[in-house]
Structure 1
């Protein structure tokens, strides 16, 4: 059985992708995913046929020939399934490279597939340059001082947080984090929060935009920089990450400046949750 599958490269670095656009890679990737679904359906049908034959067809003279053919078919489908999964992984990495988000390939919060969707649905309209990982709490430390040392005065950033509830969420700001004074609000016209994955595992990839109209008391409170706080958004605070949030349950979500879907929407709980990791990227 010929699968007609061309393996692009073992790693994105080995691929000469000069002539391929992100749109072309995405088109091929989507085709591979659809092919994989078809193979999975065929594999399911083959397994069902084998089970039915074992239960009800052993007395038939066709049984042995049928089982032999189905077993061969099953082996071929399993091989093709493995090839497609391998290719999909490579194409996802290549697409991430094309979209200039390949630094997210080292993320322990987002899979490559999630990183691509994050780019396409969340930050595509605001990304100005290739993403660069500035801060990773599990690597650099969870203290607020370490966050500000890595992220202050770095321009536009996106913060991605994973809570111990399983929820993945965060926020974007074009205003820089800045603790030259102990605490201060800053306004970013295009700032937003986002929920990527709920605490129940639902993939949302939803933006929560600012609600405050011009000249309202809440305007100017897109982010809050405080030397003793981690990344903090909104005047509620809508999203507050405390220092040492991996062992301190002081972090919370209290909607005020951004769209209100309830205190539990982002993390799965208003408070009393811990942070598994934080990643901050410049863009």
Structure 2
């Protein structure tokens, strides 16, 4: 039974809140900040690469999906215009097929005290379903409303967050990832990081998931 435990299948369990991953030798300074979040995920020991940058690649859904689809699980990192850094981990990644991709291991995070302090993590609630609403016409959407970057033409830099239905609220009851800033913010940029895979190496979760259980 040992081979079926958390060590071999970490993402069949909720995100850990009190353990942190160690750096990987290939991590640059930005990845070193994100690495602790990846404890007990499929990316914990894998090198990371920057696959999408809104300011480099474009603030629109086509650019987003062209860069991130079918690359496996990924980390979204947002920076608001006033410097708040937050985001989420999507274990099943994106494929752009218009489906809800489920995972109990998904989580949101925010650096409430700046990048020199460990971030605060919020787990997926209500089971694995709807961890990511993977629609080709929008950017990342954790749940229906927990952290959504629609990339609307009229206001592509807006991000919205309402916690409680799909991801935890904060212990004090705050129901938005952005705290006192409210349910919506303007972004300075957002980025997506994926794991580095060798040529020919199998990348999990790169197709449709009609029966997503984890």
Q: TM-score, normalised by structure 2?
A: 0.68
Residue 277 of structure 1: aligned partner: 189
CA distance in 1, matches of 2:78, 2:102: 21
Residue 25 of structure 1: aligned partner: none
Unaligned stretches of 5+ residues in structure 2: 1-21, 196-214
1:229 to 106, 125, 138: 138
Determine which structure has greater relative contact order: mean sequence separation of CA pairs < 8 Å that are 6+ residues apart, divided by chain length: 2
1:241 to 149, 153, 158: 149
1:170 to 72, 75, 87: 87
Shift of 1:117: 4.3
Contact 1:245–1:251 (CA<8 Å) still a contact in 2? Answer: no
Contact 1:144–1:228 (CA<8 Å) still a contact in 2? Answer: yes
Contact 2:59–2:157 (CA<8 Å) still a contact in 1? Answer: no
How many pairs does the alignment contain? 168
Shift of 1:150: 0.3
CA distance in 1, matches of 2:76, 2:180: 18
1:101 to 27, 30, 34: 27
Unaligned stretches of 5+ residues in structure 1: 1-94, 214-218
Residue 101 of structure 2: aligned partner: 186
CA distance in 2, matches of 1:282, 1:230: 16
Give per-residue Cα distances to partners, 1:141-174, cap 9 Å, x unaligned.
1111111110011101111111113211111121
Contact 2:75–2:193 (CA<8 Å) still a contact in 1? Answer: yes
CA distance in 2, matches of 1:267, 1:138: 25
Query: CA distance change for structure 1 residues 119 and 201 in 2, over 3 Å: closer, same or farther?
Result: closer
CA distance in 2, matches of 1:131, 1:97: 9
> Relative to total residues, which structure has the larger helix share, 1 or 2?
1
Name the SS for the 1:230 alignment partner: coil
User: How does 1:1-283 map onto structure 2 within 5 Å?
Assistant: 98=25, 100-102=26-28, 105=29, 110=30, 115-120=31-36, 122-126=37-41, 127=43, 128-180=45-97, 183-197=98-112, 203=117, 205-213=119-127, 219-235=128-144, 237-243=145-151, 247-248=155-156, 250-255=158-163, 256-261=165-170, 262-266=174-178, 268-283=180-195
Query: CA distance change for structure 1 residues 171 and 189 in 2, over 3 Å: closer, same or farther?
Result: same
Contact 2:169–2:176 (CA<8 Å) still a contact in 1? Answer: no
Shift of 1:246: 10
Query: CA distance change for structure 1 residues 259 and 228 in 2, over 3 Å: closer, same or farther?
Result: same
Shift of 1:140: 0.6
Contact 2:178–2:184 (CA<8 Å) still a contact in 1? Answer: no
> Relative to total residues, which structure has the larger strand share, 1 or 2?
2
Shift of 1:267: 6.0
Name the SS for the 1:169 alignment partner: strand
